[in-house]
């Protein structure tokens, strides 16, 4: 059997670890399962914050599917390191991003390292990146609430809390519960729930079609007594924008408004 390729590492000069300094707030964006739009939410939250004058970093901790660089139009960039530490990649949205995607030889390279190597890579992201006084670092977590997510969440010092992304179906109640249990296991506050893919607005007649139902997010928030942060509709343009390296909030007024209202709630921390 072929051996997995060695883990690529970036080597900052010895003794220069920044130990995750220079970050005021860290927010973990997670989901109870894959494919619910966690990365889409993380990227657009980061872009919205940056467009309102905040200094923002984004860690793409989804080692198996590092999509954030592509979504931000920087998939061909490489990270560098100097005597300050690992330097995240700058994007045109003012969000500095670090991702396993920058370390892989091509977009379709599969990451097949075992747990210890993954852990090491993420530890580097957290301890050795020069964040340069960020107001917020958004951590796009691996999907689900398994070991990988747990390990990463434990590596983050003093996170503010977790934002949970769910879809509107009834099963979302179970996914929300899993994520809430995860947060309480880690003694991290749940900042709130976001319902994504909530109703498709017909581009022809303007009517909303509830493809996956709506309201599951609000129901889950009520049931588990956590804050409901907002509902993001199913917008086909999100898929094309992501594929083209464009942040959807930069291209759609309605989404801009929705994300801004979510960011305001995250910032004020009140009901």
Ligand X SMILES: Nc1ncnc2c1ncn2[C@@H]1O[C@H](COP(=O)(O)OP(=O)(O)OP(=O)(O)O)[C@@H](O)[C@H]1O
Known binding-site residue numbers for ATP: 32-39
DSSP 2-48: PPPPPPP---PPTT---TT-SEEEEEEEEESSTTSSHHHHHHHHHHH
Residues in the chain: 271
> What residues from 103 to 132 belong to the interface with ligand X (CB under 6 A)?
none
Please say which residue, 117 or 201, places its beta carbon nearer to ligand X. 201
Contact between 199 and ligand X per CB under 6 A: no
- Binding status of residue 197 toward ligand X by CB under 6 A: yes
Let me know: does 78 contact 39? Beta carbons within 8 Å: no
Residue 34 within binding range of ligand X, rule CB under 6 A: yes
**Binding flag, residue 48, ligand X (CB under 6 A):** no
Q: Which of 10, 26, 27, 38 binds ligand X (CB under 6 A)?
A: 38
Judged by beta carbon, residue 147 or residue 158, the one nearer ligand X is 147
Q: For residues 199 and 120, give the distance between their C-alpha atoms in angstroms, rounded to a whole number.
A: 40
Q: Looking at beta carbons only, is 37 or 85 nearer to ligand X? A: 37
Does residue 179 bind ligand X (CB under 6 A)? no
Using the contact rule CB under 6 A, the part of the chain among 61-69, 88-96, 115-123, 260-268 near ligand X is 61-69
Helix (H/G/I), strand (E/B), else coil: 118: helix
- 């700058």: which residue's tokens? 90
Listed ranges 1-9, 78-86, 97-105, 231-239: which one lies at the site for ligand X (CB under 6 A): 231-239
Q: Quickly tell me which residue has 């300050």 as its tokens.
A: 84
175 binds ligand X (CB under 6 A): no
**Position among 214, 242, 259, 266 found at the interface with ligand X (CB under 6 A):** 242
140 vs 119: CA distance, rounded Å: 15
| Cα angle, residue 190 at apex, residues 29 and 57 outer, rounded to 5° | 35
CB of 253 to ligand X, least distance (A): 15
Q: Give the burial class of 142: count Cβ atoms within 10 A of its Cβ; 0-12 exposed, 13-18 middle, 19 or more buried.
A: buried
Among 60, 67, 68, 96, binds ligand X (CB under 6 A): 67
Q: Pick from 62, 128, 148, 219: which binds ligand X (CB under 6 A)?
A: 62
For 108, the token pair is: 């379709």
Closer of 191 and 238 to ligand X (Cβ): 238
CB atoms within 10 A of CB 146: 11
What is the end-to-end Cα distance of the chain in Å, rounded?
Answer: 55
36 binds ligand X (CB under 6 A): yes
Quote the CA–CA distance of 102 and 114 in Å, as a whole number: 19
Span from 49-57, 72-80, 227-235, 263-271 in contact with ligand X (CB under 6 A): 227-235
Which residue lies nearer to ligand X by CB, 8 or 236?
236
Binding positions for ligand X, rule: CB under 6 A: 31, 34-40, 62, 65, 67, 143, 196-197, 232, 234-235, 238-239, 242
């Amino acid at each position: 059997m072929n051996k997995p390729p060695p883990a690529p590492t970036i080597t900052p000069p010895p003794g220069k670890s920044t130990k995750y300094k220079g970050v005021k707030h860290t927010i973990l964006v997670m989901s109870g399962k894959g494919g619910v739009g966690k990365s889409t939410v993380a990227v657009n939250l980061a872009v919205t914050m940056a467009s309102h004058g905040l200094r923002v970093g984004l860690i793409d901790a989804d080692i198996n599917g590092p999509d954030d660089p592509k979504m931000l139009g920087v998939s061909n960039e490489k990270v560098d390191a100097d005597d300050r530490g690992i330097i995240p990649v700058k994007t045109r949205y003012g969000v500095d991003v670090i991702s396993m995607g920058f370390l892989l030889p091509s977009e379709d390279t599969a990451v097949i390292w075992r747990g210890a190597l993954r852990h090491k890579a993420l530890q580097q992201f957290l301890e050795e990146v020069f964040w340069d006084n960020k107001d917020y670092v958004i951590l796009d977590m691996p999907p689900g609430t398994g070991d990988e997510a747990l390990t990463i969440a434990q590596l983050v010092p003093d996170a503010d809390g977790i934002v949970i992304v769910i879809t509107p179906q009834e099963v979302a109640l179970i996914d929300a519960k899993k994520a809430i249990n995860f947060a309480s296991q880690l003694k991290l506050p749940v900042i709130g729930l976001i319902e994504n893919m909530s109703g498709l607005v017909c581009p022809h007649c303007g009517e909303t079609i509830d493809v996956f139902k709506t309201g599951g997010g609000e129901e889950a928030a009520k049931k588990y007594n956590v804050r409901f942060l907002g509902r993001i509709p199913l917008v086909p343009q999100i898929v094309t924008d992501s594929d083209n390296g464009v942040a959807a909030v930069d291209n759609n007024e309605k989404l801009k408004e929705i994300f801004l209202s979510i960011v305001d709630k995250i910032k004020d921390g009140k009901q």
